[in-house]
Structure 1
Amino acid sequence: MQERLRSTDRVKLAAEACGLPIEIVEMPQSTRTAEEAAAACGTTVAQIVKSLVFRKASSGETVLILVSGVNRVDEKTIAGLLGDRLERPDARAVRDATGFAIGGVAPIGSIRPIATYMDRDLLSHETVWAAAGSPNAVFAVSPDALQRASGAEVIAVR
């Protein structure tokens, strides 16, 4: 039986596969929320990448939206962009779609391809911090490099 990779190992391998040099940092405290992550990383909440998982109501397609920690997703606006109403899947559906638990969903390294969109407000920062596959693991990255690595389409989320 093949040993399963840890979630953080999947993120590291995904980063290496696309030439994204990252260092995953395991924090002694939780980085599950944007506020907790900002405190742990010594940065602003705006520089935290919230990886939010949605599902299109009609098709059931999973969508990942990378959002600045200070922003809320305007679901009506996003539904207009994507052509479908969005639903919030439960924790089990998030794990089934991404391989990550809520609070540790990384922008790269999901177990299957996911349509990904990125909050344009993240691009105003030199460095952002994203979850690395667990509720206490993060990595720093330039938003441009994150956008390229994740294949995200840049959009306005609010």
Structure 2
Amino acid sequence: MSIEQARAHLQKWHREKDILEFSVSSATVELAARALGVEPARIAKTLAFKSDADALLVVTAGDARVDNKKFKAAFGQKPRMLTPEETLEFTGHAVGGVCPFGLKKELPVYLDVSLKRFKTIFPACGSSNSAIELTCTELEEYAKSRGWVDVCREWQ
């Protein structure tokens, strides 16, 4: 199970027991916010894009939208989202539970600056009914982030 991959990954920091599992779906920003009782913007959504080499992940705030021009400036290509099948193939996580933890293969992970306005945020943990509360610094470390990017709009 994908949540088990995320759990094993987070075990390195003794955070596996901090994974929250819900009896309801948290597969979308709105559903996750409702399950957690927080504003949708604090949901850290992990988006999977095609890249020249393979794929790359960008974690953004729940209210942010990818800006094509900013994405191209940052990565030298237009944003092309992976299909649900490709997402599962590259990450090991199904859409609705995609996260930067316990990936099937090592992929570059970037964090969007839209997350920095929050003390804590909630990324999924590999299933459509899980999340963990992290600071941006923790997310950066646990996701083995390659750095911060500014590729989103509509959140300011």
- TM-score after normalising by structure 2: 0.90
Identity level (%): 27
Q: CA deviation at 1:68?
A: 0.1
Flag structure 2 segments of 5+ consecutive residues without an equivalent.
none
Q: Distance in 2 between matches of 1:135 and 1:51?
A: 13
Superimposed CA distance per residue, residues 100-157 of structure 1 (whole angstroms, 9 cap, x where no aligned partner)? 0001001211111111111112122111111111111111111111011112211112
Q: CA deviation at 1:20?
A: 5.6
- Cα pair distance change 1:66/1:20, threshold 3 Å: farther
CA distance in 2 between counterparts of 1:66 and 1:88 reads: 13
Judge conservation of contact 2:74–2:151 (CA < 8 Å) in 1.
Answer: no
Supply the distance in 1 between the matched residues of 2:115 and 2:81 (Cα, whole angstroms): 22
- Length, aligned pairs only: 150
What is the rounded CA distance, in whole Å, between the counterparts of 2:112 and 2:14 in structure 1? Answer: 20
Is residue 2:24 matched to residue 1:24? no
SS of the aligned residue for 2:38 comes to: coil
Displacement over 2 Å in runs of 4+: none
Partners in 2 of 1:133 and 1:98 — Cα distance? 9
Letter in 1 for 2:67: D
Under a length normalisation based on structure 1, what TM-score does the superposition of the two structures give?
0.89
Deviates more, 1:24-33 or 1:74-83: 74-83
Corresponding residue of 1:155: 149
1:55 aligns with 2:50: yes
Deviation at 1:90, TM superposition (A): 1.0
Letter in 1 for 2:132: F
1:88 is matched by which residue type in structure 2?
A: M
In 1: Cα distance, 2:119 partner to 2:96 partner: 23
Letter in 2 for 1:50: K
For the 8 Å contact 1:20–1:145, the answer to whether it is kept is: no
1:95-110 alignment, distance < 5 Å: 95-110=88-103
- What residue ranges of structure 1 are gaps of 5+ in the alignment? 1-5
Q: Which residue of 1 aligns with 2:131?
A: 138
Partner of 1:63, secondary structure, is strand
RMSD of aligned alpha carbons? 1.3
Matches within 5 A, 1:5-154: 6-17=1-12, 19=13, 21-22=15-16, 23-56=18-51, 59-152=52-145, 153-154=147-148
